[in-house]
Structure 1
Amino acid sequence: MASQLSVSSSVVGSSWNWIVSLLRPFLALFAVILLFTIADRWTHGPKAMFATEQNMRNVATQTAIVAVAALGMTVVIIAGGIDLSVGTAIALAATMLAWSLKEDLALRLAVGENLAGVNQKLKVAEDDLKRAKEAAVVAEAKSRIESLTALRETVTAASVRWSPWTPWLSLFIGIGTGCLCGLINGLLISYLKMVPFIVTLGTMQIYLGWAKWVADNTTVRPDIASQVPLWLQNLLSNRPTALVYGLPVGIWWTLVLTAILAAVLHFTVFGRYVFAIGSNEATARLCGIDVRRNKIAIYVLGGLFAGIAGLYQFSRLSVGNPTSGLGLELKVIASVIIGGGSLKGARASVLGTLTGALIMSAITSGCTALGVTNPIQDMLLGIIIIIAVALDQWRQPKTN
């Protein structure tokens, strides 16, 4: 009887600890929102805007890019890794997406040209004709204009068939770019047996340079009216007509991705391998786990989420900016740590990561509502990251 009571109390205790660990990030988020609600009400009275429905929707929208990337980082950190290149990988994915839309890539692959390119060549030929004085040069310019005019008609006719495929091809290229970045990181870390911190520090610069090269050191701006489909514009839009049950579609997709990743981590063999590798890589190898192959899969999965975050970033900015991801990696990693993840591996949760990202966005929004300047906000974010890591170090001996 005593043994049964002991087992029962042990089960209740473990269940209670699991519930507390699950709810801890939500309690922290509630405390942050409550603190800024009171402070905003105290400062602005009836004009307080922090706790309004519109501002909470803005907080959720601002969180989406970091939250999606942080979901992938959660898997990487559970496995005992780190990815400093996630910010530039997001910007690269967004830039590739924007470039594909601007170039009307499906049409260009089908017929070798796009309308913008043909029109530009035609304009150059017309300018040459205006400047031409010799008869031979005039004849050559007129001949070139005629051929380019015929080519424009051919391309215009082909665009009816091929241009509708460009957004889907661009979507594949953007997300695929994120996966490729993750694959490169995973291969370098697994086969060269290098420290993830150093590898991803190097690839961070590689992806930044790659994005600048694609964008020709500028910002890629596809035409919103004709080249960016409405569903992509509305992904993170707060316009009333773009909302689904009060939130942008992208927020709902983030929640779906969170549920799917949680199921993968807790109910699949791959999920158990991720925790095993993060707990003790040598032991996992001795247990028959293919550590190298699973590490590559882990970083590819992280890259997949970075690619989706790049899609979100383009939807929010409507441009591809190669430098838009600089510094974003700190917020992504901080979301995981604030949400209860450990840099030593084997501990993190997708719900914790989601609330960690929301906590940072709520703090930023609250500071803005209270009139706190950006430099102070940046310092506050740094202090929060240090405190989160310190708490992780303080908790660690208790779990060893």
Structure 2
Amino acid sequence: MKVGALARSVGPLVGLIFVWVLFAVLNGGSFVQWSNQRLMLTQTAVVGTAAIGATLIIIAGGIDLSVGSTIALGTVVVGLLLDAGEPPLVAALGGIGAAMVCGLIIGTLVIGRLGGALTVIAGAILTGWLWARLGAPMPAAVGAGAVAATGLALLVRRFDARLPLAPFIVTLGMWGALRGLAKGLADNGQVHPPDATWVGGLLDRATVLPTGVWMFLGLALITGAALRYTRFGRHVYAIGSNEQTARLCGVRVERTKVWIYILGIGCAGLAALMQFSYLKAGDPTTAEGYELKVIAAVVIGGASLSGGEGTIRGTIIGALIMTVVDSGCTHLGIDNWVQEIVTGAMIVAAVALDRIRHRRAT
């Protein structure tokens, strides 16, 4: 293994050990207690879950600036479904599904299929109308919306001109649109369902490790294995390394990109489920600033914003580093604004080191 690759692989782990030992020495016994370690793992679960999805997107050369808004929208959808008497499983799947639909819209816009994005939006609107206005069961409403969107897509396919858009622009626009949609659905307030027992217990601290943490770790294992051992994973790296070369090698770049955004932003839907568990309510203002935290976790973990590099293991370590720094600063009584400065400095340092490494390699 080359020195640069070794440093990129081991560096984040060394950094995690360093900051943990540093705060353990500075804070004394309270920091190293199991209750605090469990709390840090619980706090990492939400950001880490969203960061796993962002890793897929960044490795493929994209970016997602809408993750915080997606999480907020997901909590509102879960809250509305529970408040309407839907079973917890349906509510959970509804929150994740809403995020995946957002990913589908973003993916189709990124590859330049404006007509495709509009058909997805039309299907989502029809689904909401059938469920909210006509009282149709959620599975039936989703099915009808999917059929309608598919039919419209077939009709406009021949007339859908290609107009690829930069992921930065698309997700920046969706950042505002999804936040506004969440506020509109929640009527500028919070959604407090009467019974959120199952969903609300995902991050219950009464257990040794909350269910949400196990879900987070399981997702990390599955996604890491998929990136390393499957054809889809190889295609993700190939697209991020050189999109034109990947296309010449037979990779269906456009289709793969859409799936990357569906799955990547779908992870934000799972993070929304965990965030709802923590809040016990759907909150359209939650997760503000999570875009910075998620991107920081991925970049600090060794991924390159240029694409083609990154691992799930590194992302998890990056998320843990941020949690340890936040927890350590809190134990020391350091103000929150200082923690934000530290987070920003870590991102700049990680990107600078990545640029230096690439310059030396060329």
TM-score, normalised on structure 1? 0.76
Q: Which residue of 2 aligns with 1:232?
A: 199
Following TM superposition, by how much is the alpha carbon of 1:24 offset from its aligned partner in structure 2, in angstroms?
2.4
Q: Which residue of 1 aligns with 2:20?
A: 33
Residue identity (%) = 46
Using the alignment, how far apart are the partners of 1:264 and 1:86 within structure 2? Answer: 22
Q: Which residue of 1 aligns with 2:181?
A: 210
The CA deviation string for residues 144-175 of structure 1, in whole angstroms up to 9 with x for no partner, is xxxxxxxxxxxxxxxxxxxxxx2111111100
Among 97, 103, 110, the alignment partner of 1:182 is: 103
Following TM superposition, by how much is the alpha carbon of 1:198 offset from its aligned partner in structure 2, in angstroms?
0.6
The CA deviation string for residues 201-231 of structure 1, in whole angstroms up to 9 with x for no partner, is 00111100110111001111112xxx212x3
The CA deviation string for residues 69-114 of structure 1, in whole angstroms up to 9 with x for no partner, is 000000000000000001100110111001111121x4xxxxxxxx
Using the alignment, how far apart are the partners of 2:321 and 2:35 within structure 1? Answer: 17
Among 324, 330, 335, the alignment partner of 2:297 is: 335
Using the alignment, how far apart are the partners of 1:399 and 1:64 within structure 2? Answer: 35
Residue 74 (structure 2) pairs with residue 97 (structure 1): no
Residue 144 (structure 2) pairs with residue 173 (structure 1): no
The CA deviation string for residues 247-266 of structure 1, in whole angstroms up to 9 with x for no partner, is 11111111111110011101
Which amino acid counterpart does residue 201 of structure 2 have in structure 1?
N
Q: Which residue of 1 aligns with 2:145?
A: none
Q: Check conservation: 2:92, 2:199, Cα contact below 8 A.
A: no
Q: Which residue of 1 aligns with 2:157?
A: none
Using the alignment, how far apart are the partners of 1:380 and 1:396 within structure 2? Answer: 24
Which amino acid counterpart does residue 293 of structure 1 have in structure 2?
R
Which amino acid counterpart does residue 234 of structure 1 have in structure 2?
G
Using the alignment, how far apart are the partners of 2:90 and 2:258 within structure 1? Answer: 25
The CA deviation string for residues 273-324 of structure 1, in whole angstroms up to 9 with x for no partner, is 1000000111111222111111100000112101100001001111111111
Q: Which residue of 2 aligns with 1:275?
A: 237
Among 162, 171, 194, the alignment partner of 2:165 is: 194
Q: Which residue of 2 aligns with 1:149?
A: none
Which amino acid counterpart does residue 11 of structure 2 have in structure 1?
R
Using the alignment, how far apart are the partners of 1:325 and 1:17 within structure 2? Answer: 35
Following TM superposition, by how much is the alpha carbon of 1:377 offset from its aligned partner in structure 2, in angstroms?
1.4
Following TM superposition, by how much is the alpha carbon of 1:20 offset from its aligned partner in structure 2, in angstroms?
5.3
Using the alignment, how far apart are the partners of 1:393 and 1:323 within structure 2? Answer: 35
Following TM superposition, by how much is the alpha carbon of 1:19 offset from its aligned partner in structure 2, in angstroms?
5.8
Residue 323 (structure 2) pairs with residue 361 (structure 1): yes
Residue 62 (structure 2) pairs with residue 81 (structure 1): yes
Residue 333 (structure 2) pairs with residue 371 (structure 1): yes
Residue 34 (structure 2) pairs with residue 53 (structure 1): yes
Structure ID, larger Rg: 1
Describe the SS at the equivalent of 1:50. helix
Which amino acid counterpart does residue 256 of structure 1 have in structure 2?
G
Following TM superposition, by how much is the alpha carbon of 1:18 offset from its aligned partner in structure 2, in angstroms?
5.8
Using the alignment, how far apart are the partners of 1:319 and 1:30 within structure 2? Answer: 35
Using the alignment, how far apart are the partners of 1:333 and 1:169 within structure 2? Answer: 30
Once superposed, what is the RMSD of the aligned Cα atoms?
1.4
Which amino acid counterpart does residue 83 of structure 1 have in structure 2?
D
Work out the number of aligned pairs and report it. 312
Q: Which residue of 1 aligns with 2:158?
A: none
Q: Which residue of 1 aligns with 2:270?
A: 308
Residue 225 (structure 2) pairs with residue 263 (structure 1): yes
Q: Which residue of 2 aligns with 1:9?
A: none
Q: Which residue of 2 aligns with 1:398?
A: 360
Using the alignment, how far apart are the partners of 1:27 and 1:320 within structure 2? Answer: 38
Using the alignment, how far apart are the partners of 1:304 and 1:289 within structure 2? Answer: 23
Using the alignment, how far apart are the partners of 1:174 and 1:327 within structure 2? Answer: 20
Describe the SS at the equivalent of 2:64. coil
Residue 258 (structure 2) pairs with residue 285 (structure 1): no
Specify whether residues 399 and 265 from structure 1 end up closer, same or farther in structure 2 by C-alpha distance, changes over 3 A only.
farther
Following TM superposition, by how much is the alpha carbon of 1:389 offset from its aligned partner in structure 2, in angstroms?
1.4
TM-score, normalised on structure 2? 0.83
Using the alignment, how far apart are the partners of 2:171 and 2:283 within structure 1? Answer: 20
The CA deviation string for residues 304-350 of structure 1, in whole angstroms up to 9 with x for no partner, is 10110000100111111111122101100110000001000000100
Using the alignment, how far apart are the partners of 1:201 and 1:17 within structure 2? Answer: 33
Using the alignment, how far apart are the partners of 2:74 and 2:58 within structure 1? Answer: 22
